[in-house]
Chain A
Amino acid sequence: MKHSSFFWFVLPSTLLMLAFIAFPIVSVVSQSFYTAHEQVVVQVKNCGPFGCSMETSVDQEATAALREAEPLGKFAGLDIYKDRNHLAFGEVAAAWVNSDGLPDFGRSLMNLPFYKAMGFTLTYTAVVTPLTILLGFFVAIAVNSVAKALKGPTIFFSLLPMIVTPLVGSLILFWMVDARGILGTGLQWLTDDPNLSVKASTGLMWIMLMVYGVWHAAPFAFVVFYAGLQTVNTDTLESAMVDGATRWERIRFVVVPHLLPLVTFVALIQLMDNFRVFEPIVSFQASAHATSLSYAIYNDLGGETRLLSSAAATSVLTIIGIAILLSPVLVRTWRDFDRK
């Protein structure tokens, strides 16, 4: 294809991506080095019947004018990254000195917003990704071995948890595990504790969020693995059987190696998606027990005072995290291309 025609064909997409993905990244990075202007304070002499006194008051007009003139705020360097809401170097150092033993250090770390969010995000990613793959794999194997008539409906219902909006899907689960909902009542009956409430317990809340994560993502793993199972070589399976391999050995030595590239693919996609876990925390109203990096940004941006700089700094840290997670995918794509 000629350079010029390539250029015209990709122009619309390029403009869109530059303006709304590349430029915002630059804008986020620069915003994270600035902080909002402090209010302009003026000294006013206030004279009343009991004599004069000096009072300080906020000059609203001057503040507004200053903010208007420099909407980014004033330059703060790396200060925002270092403050208590982000990397909190000072607090971490203090906790390291004051704590006795690693568990205690960990506990004081979990009181700092950024590390709390990071802790949940990483745990969530590390737990949900392997469980998703396992559940998806077993469902795919099971679907593959039942009668053909059952396959259509199974795939239809299996797709639902994944297709349905994350916010809506997690709300549906949340209502069911409410202390007055069916699953909540069931849990109370199982544990024989009429006061058990998922909303009130940090541990249960983490488990519920992860259960939702697996429920939501397993269908994707299932569909990919099921498609992979259709291409397993039956000749290999039969010769393995002739050689005396049991059913389990056939799965272990023929089917699993065949699916392995798909497992890597699903794992990488899931790592990226789980790292940005966000909506379930909103609908479970779980922010007291668990926050994620995305939720921290959302929290800064919403509300009365939009903490743009704070959100920007968390965003930059999230992007760095994503970049670390993504690097194996990029290397792999690179190699694939070079091989061609």
Chain B
Amino acid sequence: MSSKATRQPPTIRIMATSFLVIWLLVAAFPFLWTLWGSFKVEGDFFSKANWANALFGTLTQAETGGSFTGAGYEGAWVQEEFWRAALNTTIVCVFVVTVSLTCGTLGGYALARSTHRYAFWFLLFALMFRAMPPITLVSGYLLPFFEWNLWGHLYTTVIVLVAINQPFTLWMLHSFFKNIPKDLDESAMVDGCTRFQAFRHVIIPVMWPGVITTGLFSFLLAYNDFAVTTMLLSKENQTMIPKIASFLGTTQTKGNVMFAVSAVVSATAPLFVMVMFFQRQIVSGLTAGAVKG
């Protein structure tokens, strides 16, 4: 800010600030509105009479006696057993992140250290795989999975998500490992370590920042996935996102839309917390280069 070239006259400042305020409203308002509305009854959230009902909860007061109601949450979590979906999501995410990071660090390290041409080809193929829309792959899974009785189970989905995740994880970890100086593990090998020992004792202790960032993006991929989970999971094994989608189809009776609204808010909350704590890592991951989550 000290440089004269970057100093702004007041008019530009005001213009920039007002533009930003508008953008922030556009970015954040829908979430706040839905969070607020999720504690109302359907008649208020979708108000025929007056949109301001959603703010003040006129019908909510008439129907339940208070300005806020947790009926939507109770309906979704207890009656429709959303807790089961939340549990499934937790299982899927934990396993996807651990397995894909384990495979990814090994592969990414090797790709970063190998100077042979095949390492480049490997990365090029990974890039091509990265561009495949998951739904096109799903149409290839269904028949073999039915044949071999693999369809519907959580572990199948975990493995599939890990595999779909792999190209991205490899690219990202590969660029992180490139930034760790070669001398580090090479001097360990001069001292008599094998390649794996060097990796185990020298590289693992210093690789955590990159691994955490990559882990965040693996988590996001598993958490946000709809195409794979909706097609490969049986009804009782559904994770949160396909469960929300199924609310839309089945619950058209009065009041049940609020189940979907509160489920949506519940599914957004963990992401909100994650952005709050890991903002720096997410930003660094997005700008890390040729990859994106």
Contacts and interface: CB of A to CB of B under 8 A. Distances in A.
Contacts of A19: 163
B142 A155 contact: no
B138 A283 contact: no
A58 interface: no
Interface residues of A, number: 110
B163 A167 contact: no
A237 B7 CA distance: 11
B3 A21 contact: no
Interface in A1-27: 1-3, 5-6, 8-10, 12-14, 16-17, 19-27
Contact of A20 (B20, B163, B279): B163
Interface string B16-31: 1101100110111011
Contacts of A208: none
B196 A20 contact: no
A315 interface: yes
Interface in A161-201: 161, 163-169, 171-173, 175-176, 178, 180-182, 185-186
Nearest to A25: B140
A322 B132 contact: yes
A207 B128 CA distance: 31
B248 A330 contact: no
B122 interface: yes
Contact of B135 (A166, A298, A333): A298
A330 B271 contact: no
B135 A182 contact: no
Interface in A21-67: 21-28, 31
Contact of A163 (B30, B126, B274): B274
Contact of A241 (B5, B27, B135, B290): B5
B132 A159 contact: no
Contact of B102 (A8, A12, A171): A12
Nearest to A185: B51
B27 A157 contact: yes
A65 B164 CA distance: 34
B23 A16 contact: no
Contacts of B106: 9-10, 12-13
Contact of B276 (A5, A10, A156, A215): A156
A10 B45 CA distance: 52
Q: Classify the interface of chain A: helix, strand, loop or mixed.
A: helix
Contacts of A9: 106-107, 109-110, 195
Contact of B131 (A1, A175, A272): A272
B274 A24 contact: no
Contacts, number: 287
B176 interface: no
B143 interface: yes
Interface residues of B, number: 102
Nearest to B276: A156
Interface stretch (A74-82, A83-91, A305-313): A305-313
B226 A166 contact: yes
A234 B113 contact: no
A214 B119 CA distance: 36
Contact of A160 (B5, B27, B120): B27
A1 B195 contact: yes
Interface stretch (A92-100, A111-119, A124-132, A138-146): A138-146
A204 interface: no
Contacts of B290: 265, 333
Interface in B224-283: 224, 226-227, 230-231, 241, 244-245, 248, 260-261, 264, 267-268, 271-272, 274-276, 279, 282-283
Given A10-B106, A146-B20, A333 B124 contact: yes
Nearest to A22: B129
A31 B143 contact: yes
A301 B19 CA distance: 44
Contacts of B87: none
Contacts of B113: 1
Contacts of B264: 168, 171-172
A269 interface: yes
Given A164-B271, A224-B287, A308 B23 contact: no
Contact of B6 (A17, A234, A306, A312): A234
A282 interface: yes
Interface string A218-240: 01100110010000001001101
B149 interface: no
B133 interface: yes
Contacts of B34: 172, 175-176
22 contacts: A5-B110, A6-B116, A9-B195, A21-B132, A21-B163, A25-B140, A71-B147, A146-B16, A160-B272, A165-B226, A165-B267, A166-B224, A167-B224, A175-B46, A220-B292, A247-B12, A294-B136, A294-B227, A298-B231, A315-B140, A323-B128, A329-B127
Given A250-B5, A311-B139, 6 more contacts: A2-B195, A9-B109, A139-B23, A146-B20, A302-B230, A308-B143
